[in-house]
Amino acid sequence: MNHLYKLTGFYICVLISLVFLSCVNTLPGDEEQENTEHNEIGTIPIKVIASNLHKQVYNKDYEAAIGLYMLLSSSSLDKDRYIDNEKLICTSSGFATTNNIYYPASKEKCDLISYYPYKTNAIQLDSHLMNVKVELDQSSSISYNASDFMTVSISGLAPTTKNVSLDFEHQFSQLSMIIKCVDDTDMEQLRSLNPIISVHHVFTEAIYSFDSDDFTDLSTRGSIIPNGVWSIDGNKLIGKKCILPPQIISGYFDFITITIGTETYVIQLSDNYKLNSGSSNEITILYSPKMGVSNLITQINDWKEGVDIEIVPIEKPQLDRISISDFDFEKNTIYRVSSNGKCIAEVCKEYLLNDNFNSEAIVVYPIIDNVTDLQNGVLWHVLGETNQLLGGRISWNKLTNSFNYSYGHAASIPFIYFDEYGFINQSEISSSVKVTIGERILSDLRGSELLHYPVIKIASQYWIAEDLKATFYHDGTSITKKTSSSYSKKTAGYFQVNSHIYYNQAAVTSGKIAPYGWRIADYQDWDLLRNYLQGESSVLKSFNQWDSDEYDSTNLTGFNATPVGLFNNVDGLDESGFSFYNQYVAYWSMGTTNQTLADRAVMLSYNSNEIKNASYSEYSGYCVRCIEN
């Protein structure tokens, strides 16, 4: 009987529990269950076609593929994905997955995103950014197509049994090269010479945002071998083309190298030239066997509609040797030496300081795989001194920011020669190659703003030789300009007096101020600089701009520190005020990351020869100097 009572009590408890649960709308865990049902796979297969892309990339001997993402319309790419980077292989009949994929069981509308070429781990789960790049050697159709980054997106796609047509759009830029003869040249004979052409000093990598549909973080300069073979079209040779990320081609670099027969021409643009996303660009080189290259015409066509531009090029002279008179060190202190578009050496006017040196000197360093070899510099000339033996080896220690010099044996070195391997020679050699020289300039593109900075070398460090002037972050978004009515510390921004730019703490710690490949100098960088210069600031200060004091401003380093003043807190007010023009300059100093500050900034003053520490607050507006990574 007791057992019956216990069993009856159990059923009563269960009944009460069921009644209670039926009265509750939501219980912990129900929401997760609903989301699971929300993402449940349905029975309608997803089928896509991309006819134009298929015609371009199908190759029976190569596996081309696209990546596909699908989102429920209420979600986003950096959060929940219904389909995450599904690989669709390009077969003879179209694009297909290894296993069928289906629309969600809920049959709600979806957003579809696809891209070419396929990449494993293309977009991280919490991101909408993808690293993209072009191939350096695009001579084969496979490598050319693999460089042609394309995307397509469709919003509000309802489940359908029909094929979904994917119309991919080119996101990179196409560059076609044409040789146009300006006289009665035999075109067949010219084609038989098979002119060799290549494009140099262009950015080859970038980050693409699927959220904003644009590119940031252009990086890694390289040389491109184009695709195609020459064919004759009237008085033109056509057929060579390459793919590049959208960018501005700077007029400061050797842009094109072309070899026709035994003659090689190195061409530099006289102005900057913009390659837009999705544009097809033509560069026409005007050529005569008698006159060589005489002009360069650029044109932008569809993929997307563009405009015609004519640019006069600079054909840079090729030298079989270099002398100091070939360089304008008053204009720039670092020059790059190139052979056939490849950088092989760097010539620096720099300040040498140790127990045996205290003077400006000119040093030649080899460049190996685009990296300057600071272990094997050759001392070419010492300014203002005649008793130094030249031609010896300068070797820098980056950890201590100091150098050793193994003395040479030459009283003077009139010329420097380079062999086919890029080795530096102090006397004439039979295997000397022809070279061109060009200034080393940092070109910083941010949104619509393009700024150029000279680069200097101090010890083993490379600095920009001016204060940063950017009014955009490096992702292209604008930095707030602080005015007299918005000098509060609360938001990131910059102050401006005349042409000088001062950044506040919030802007500097955004991590988005420095040009790509560079960083804001941190406390270790400043300490290395301070130690190398033995604590003296006079060699950093610009000429004749500081209020008079007992210390000369020699600017021997080329750092060109200018006393532009600073912004700091106005007593008793929640705002910043400007002061100390012609007397001080203060620089931000970063901490252990690009979003933290050191406990002290750096200051130079008119009445001291020290490189001082300086305090700061959220109201401070200081200058920024950047150093190469």
Q: Is domain 40-169 given the CATH code 2.60.40.2620 in the classification?
A: yes
Could you tell me the sign of the dihedral formed by the alpha carbons of 504, 510, 512, 514, in that order?
Answer: positive
Give the chain's radius of gyration (CA, Å). 31
Across the chain, what does the average pLDDT equal? 87
Give the pairing of strands 500-504 and 494-497: antiparallel
| Residue 171: count of CB within 10 angstroms of its CB | 22
The reported pLDDT for the residue numbered 486 is: 63
The reported pLDDT for the residue numbered 308 is: 43
* CA atoms of 611 and 629, how far apart (whole Å): 23
* CA atoms of 342 and 345, how far apart (whole Å): 9
Q: Which fold has domain 172-316?
A: Immunoglobulin-like (2.60.40)
Q: What is the DSSP letter of 116?
A: E
The reported pLDDT for the residue numbered 23 is: 39
> Strand, coil or helix: what is 525?
helix
Q: What is the DSSP letter of 324?
A: G
Sequence-separated (6 or more) residues with CB below 8 Å from residue 144: 135, 138, 227, 241, 242, 243
The reported pLDDT for the residue numbered 294 is: 56
Sequence-separated (6 or more) residues with CB below 8 Å from residue 496: 481, 482, 502
| Residue 587: count of CB within 10 angstroms of its CB | 21
* CA atoms of 333 and 349, how far apart (whole Å): 5
Give the pairing of strands 173-181 and 279-288: parallel
Sequence spans of domains, the chain: 40-169, 172-316, 324-439, 460-628
Ramachandran assignment for 198, one of left (phi > 0), alpha (psi -120 to 50 degrees), beta (any other): beta
The reported pLDDT for the residue numbered 46 is: 95
Residues of the chain with pLDDT under 70: 1-39, 270, 290-316, 447, 484-488, 549
Name the token pair of 561. 């520190």
* CA atoms of 586 and 606, how far apart (whole Å): 12
